[in-house]
Structure 1
């Protein structure tokens, strides 16, 4: 049950009569009134109207009209209607009584107009979930919706939208070119040069379809690792229409950064200091926090691996378009620049700007420690004879990391 609504409409109601003296039976049937478009009755409205008109001898006197503040504002827009499916048995009679010319026209004039882009966009939006996108064509094989953005490793579904009254195509097939099958592996981004942002398709508004449509899936879903893919469809064995090229934005599993940590885990420098009582052991290295430079591997969008729609099959982050909190949060692995086997850490990062992350790291450092003596202990031998051993120290550090592109700009490519 649908009705055209004028601009400014706030409610659609049921009235008896189509003049200035019309009686308002139901002031509002609910649902959303689309200004200048269509109002589609919710299930509750169908039940209300059916109960009101069923079996009434003056059934043809009922109309749907624009109601404001409980009153009929313009009798001229009151429209005849029928209710489905509850009134299905009486549909022909109701239409003949209320508007015979419209009923005859509807019965004898099939719809041949393909689905418009806004209808295709609405159907695609209703079916799209994270990492899945729909590329849609109309019944003539002409593209009517291209999603944006589409990423490498996304699952791409191809469909044909058949408008109300159109004949369902018996055969549908896809013609896909330029699709490279994805391969497993880690995709690390470290160039520091992000790809250019491309503009999305224009003129597509995700509004709800004004009339029933059918979306027919064509072929199997696609997943591509190439920079673009071209998709066309063939309807009922005809020649495939003009293909639609769809750019695919890159996904990356991880990025490589240079990190600077404020760390207390520093290699000690043991020596001897002369006092009035003799030589004592001292540590000439500063005890406060100091900078430590590390290589940092940031596993992008780490929370996505544990979220619905992600899981351990999560294909990676699109660094241009994926910018939610979960996308900017990463798992962090750090290694010392000088001696990677002696310093490493595990932590979390948060991207505060493109290629710049805040870090919190639990780090471990294999360093020299005194063995059987302590700082301040008297020692009569040479400094090289101070007894030491190797031990693992641990601590929590904070810092920043920078994409290598920033580093190259400051220090050069070497």
Structure 2
């Protein structure tokens, strides 16, 4: 089979790229070993995080590093066996987390974040997926005054970019979410983000709309990608697919495909876990709630109350070690009346990340006809649609909705 473009990876990013290309008249085949939205795009807190100007940065204070090293910070965990291999990447991550570079990050990411909600809204309306979405922002809770002070430091930059953020007291927080218990000292409501009841369901709806526009979704192994003359070919369960262009949007598996073509990009993974719970006594949430110092998010989903953990540094394919889930579940039960677990075992996924915390969006260096949409770290679900739009505009010769230069792969040399 011949088509205009092969898109490898049917997560929220790859599906959005495929859908945007189809909307621009391209014939596209979307290839994944699983169904759309069944891997990394399934397991997250379901936020369209419009307000995420500050990244999940590497700790700069020795006291914070010590907390992680000693296993006292429930938001971070690590495998000793993976750290040696990660040292160069983590050093680059530490450098990129310097205060002045964080401001550069904010200026760059705002060019995409400013479009994140409206691009999701546009695709959701076209795909009939608006029922998954809710407004109301998200609520951040703080157990200490130091935590609140750190959050307050973000307010000036947020307001400079027109974001709505407000510190509230315990009583107002409990009025918003009456089933929370007052185990926190203060709270902040960020009103601009939206959230969804099923990230995987949204991705599947976008993929279904892609199919309605004539796109094809096929099962196949992206590692079969091969050069075919001036174009590309990949093997699927229904046979070979050929195209002059290919998009690699494989998240944590991207380097499995890119290394054989000589591409050496510093892509690592941050593993994370989630579990769904029943709520006791008819308790409910109306929005995601972050327990900042507890290191977890609880959010209402179609499958129950989802508890999502922080970061685990480990080899991508190492066995599960959900120690963070065990720690944070105890804290979450103190905050909200969680009932029994709704699943037999925790879900684990990998957030693909570059050390400068920016994604790569654009052509692959030295590989004519290959495009990249990878490395969205904690913002894959947020940025999927706008990344898809930006890449599709670049591929079809349209004026890009944002300056693509900061997201070029060439920044890594």
**TM > 0.5 fold call:** no
TM-score (norm 2): 0.19
TM-score (norm 1): 0.19
More strand by share: 1
Q: Select the structure of larger CA radius of gyration.
A: 1
Bigger relative contact order, structure 1 or 2, given CA contacts below 8 A and separation 6+?
Answer: 2
